[in-house]
Amino acid sequence: MTRRLSCLSLSAIFTLVLAVPFTPAADVPLSQGAKITFEKKLRVKLKLDIDKKMLRPLIGDDIPAAVKEATGLTQKIEIATGQGVTLTSSFGPFKGEMTLEEVLNKICEDKSWGWYVNNAPKGDQKDGAIFLTTNSKEKGYKEGTGPKEVAKKDDPKEKPKDEPKTGDGDKAAAEMLTKAKFQMNTKQTEKAMVTLKEIIEKYPDTKAAADAKKLLEKIGK
């Protein structure tokens, strides 16, 4: 009896595993079909002359036909299961040259939808197919399955070391002015001029900068 229950349990688990849809983890290698879609279809320029149409003929005929003409490859574009994407919504026109990626983004932007390339196991007929969804975060990859974003190196939040903190400008400028006066008194005229110019450049709104201008004029006479 125990052995029979164990066999039934294993059978149930196996059935559940097969029922779970394939969802690649972040940064997993692309399947063959997905790789072809990303590398050979999405960024190729399509020659389009499509008037405003409902989504059904757009993704069922017009756009796949343009991909076929440009690449010689077929491309499936479908609605992801359980999504509220409506095939009767109208889009367009699409004229001139556009990439498949641009067309998909234009469609999705109008409705705050998303799309992803299906990264499926080998042998899956829908490997590399494009699915439209109502998740606006999905642009190329299903949410949570794409490559990790690399943080952009924006301007540093901290000020450069040679830039004074707010409120310290007057003090720093005054110290440099004292240094310049010492250089003048010790006959280091060229060094004094460099220091005075630095005060004017770095701390233009301070009293020390005004004094530095007067001293420069005096040296120049």
Specify if 15 maps to a domain.
no
Structural domain of 117: 29-140
> Considering the chain, what percentage of its residues have pLDDT values greater than 70?
77
pLDDT at 28: 62
Is 0.75 surpassed by the pTM of this model?
A: no
b or e along 167-203 (b: 16 or more beta carbons within 10 Å of the residue's beta carbon)? eebeebbbebbebbbebbeeeeeeebbebbeebbebb
Tell me if 115 sits within 8 A of 132, measured CB to CB. Answer: yes
On whether both 134 and 174 belong to a single domain, the answer is no
Residue of 71 and 5 predicted with greater confidence: 71
On whether both 82 and 33 belong to a single domain, the answer is yes
Specify if 178 maps to a domain.
yes
96-141 pLDDT tens trace: 999 999 999 999 998 899 999 999 988 899 999 999 999 999 999 9
Count of the separate structural domains present in the chain: 2
Tell me if 129 sits within 8 A of 77, measured CB to CB. Answer: yes
- Three-state DSSP class for residue 31: coil
On whether both 64 and 115 belong to a single domain, the answer is yes
On whether both 63 and 132 belong to a single domain, the answer is yes
Task: Look up the CATH number of the domain holding residue 192.
Answer: 1.20.58
Specify if 87 maps to a domain.
yes
On whether both 115 and 62 belong to a single domain, the answer is yes
Specify if 12 maps to a domain.
no
